[in-house]
Structure 1
Amino acid sequence: MLETSMRLLRLLALLQIPNDWNGATLAERLDVSTRTVRNDIERLRQLGYPVHATRGTAGGYRLGAGASLPPLLLDDEEAVAVTIGLRTAAAGGIAGIEETALRALTKLEQVLPNRLRRRVNALQTYTVVVPGDGTGPRVGAETLTAIAAACRDHERIRFDYRDHSGGESRRVAEPYRLINWGRRWYLVAYDIDRSDWRTFRVDRLTPKPPAGPRFTPRELPQDVTDRVTRSVAAAAWRFRASVVVHASAESLGARVPPAAGAIEAIDDTTCVLHTGADSPEVLAINIGQLALHGFDFTVTDPPELVELLRSLADRYRRAISAGSTPNHNAREIAAGSIDVEDQ
């Protein structure tokens, strides 16, 4: 009986690899006859595993989806990945799944071998999570799954939407992609009434079921992720600037992330970066990154940003002219300060 049980587990592990396994290959892997393989397949079916069979020279066995979830076999790396994922989900930004994730995590950790439990616990113990600048909005799991199903089935959705200024409107859209950026979720959809692509924050929309009717999918813009990062960043900017960069748009785009702003080519050696931030100080720091990347640039507006950059430039000049003694830095390190090598 023990030998049969071990063989069934090995067979189940093979079937969980997406493939059409013919009887001869399975028999060779398990070192048994094809008749034994057929009998073991039937045992798995009796245990609730939906093992499908196809006839013909290219046929074979494949593990399918059933009405209920049968036990799964995970290798070491998969078990560690699932455990870490559940711990992250238990403290994540999707409302309604924390308790469910915690229950699943408890069940999984109870059966983890000691060697894997030690790996997971070590990662949890010696990892420090740095809090973000805010808790961020929470999105209901039902909302995400409903939108994802509409994307999959190509069904229009209706929803009430609240924009950043608090205005509310009823929207009808063709959903295409859900994009997760940090703790926020965004829906990329084609707005029917506005006849254009739009990006919606999922935490600001309230679905109005039922979904439908079905639609013929349009060609999705290739730079859909870049479009989202640009539009999201731009929508949050309070201060904006257009910086003339003395480099080609291609070279700047290779070094600057899409969230930094939109790049407009002027000629082969000049382009404009349309960027922004919540404050002139943050904007000055962001623009300063251009110099670190080796780009020369010119800033002419807004006036408060120009003045701030001039003040920073004077401060940098004074820092160079005054000079700093290496012994001063050495005393700080000796006194217990931590040297950050990579920020």
Structure 2
Amino acid sequence: MDSAATSAPNLLLLPLEEGRYAVRFLRGVEATPTRPLAYDPFLYLTPAHLALQQAPGERLHFYLEDQRANQTVGQFHAFLDAAGREAHSPWQAPFGSAQLMPGIPADVVAGFLTVVDTQLAQQGVQRLQVRSYPLDYDEAGSALLTQALTQLGFRITQTELNNHLPLQDEFVARLHPSERRRLRKCERHGFQFEQEPPLLLPLAYEFLSRCRQEKGQQLSLPLERLQELFRLFPQHYFLFSVRNAAGEWVALTVAIRVNSEVLYNFYPASPLAYNAFSPVVLLNAGLHAFGKASGMRLLDLGTSMLPEGPNYSLLQFKRHLGGVLSLKLTFEK
């Protein structure tokens, strides 16, 4: 193998800085890093969440280790199809790709991904798809990953438009005047933002499903899977609502704590009958306050895409919320 020397069956040394960095290659459901992580991992890259992704083929895990500092400084996970010819990162999650410690050198990132690429090829993988996280999650890391992957011959096959709100800014200060008026209208009519207990998930799921059906859409997860996620990750999955003065739901969402810096507005919904109020604005105001009070850096508003291209009306709404655009890239080779 050109890019690494083997010092143990699953430890591949990078030819950089006198063997300081190595890639630990693991197989199977268990994906626990050997050395402590030097960064706060994204939820979807934690061993517990990775174990939920039921790929039909083998699971291959790569951990980049700084042996001098005794730390894990990067990771990448690939899920194989039944034939073992195609690999995906992720198999079933909003994103996969590689997460890196801030400040990691570019040549180390390139060496790490070269080892991943080489090992997958040696396993018989002929096609790899990598769906990365939004660039604003880690702009420097995303730049290094994009450069290294394209250098290895990967093509960008999908560019999704993503929006986020920076939590250091005041929510109202970024609002378009029209959304500011709707926010005040909700407040005048006694609408309230609330955090709901998970035991209300079945009722909440019915509400979310009806709202999606009004727009000709469906929820991506069944109720049973959503309940499982709330049960397994109680510190990461939250149910938030806006109730009117009568105590009825007029907006709901499932929010996900991706890590200590990112809160993701995953399942926002509101009935068409309340469009004149736009209670989702108040819902986002509450999420903004929750994320800021929790010490987070950004509120992820998600992508705005349809099968045929960008959802321009949704993009405009997120722009009116004060959303900042970035890209979410998918790579293939």
TM bin (shorter chain): under 0.3
Looking at both structures, which has the greater relative contact order when contacts are Cα pairs under 8 Å and sequence separation is at least 6? 2
TM-score (normalizing by structure 2): 0.19
**Which structure shows the higher strand fraction?**
2
Q: Greater CA radius of gyration, 1 or 2?
A: 1
State TM-score, norm by structure 1: 0.19
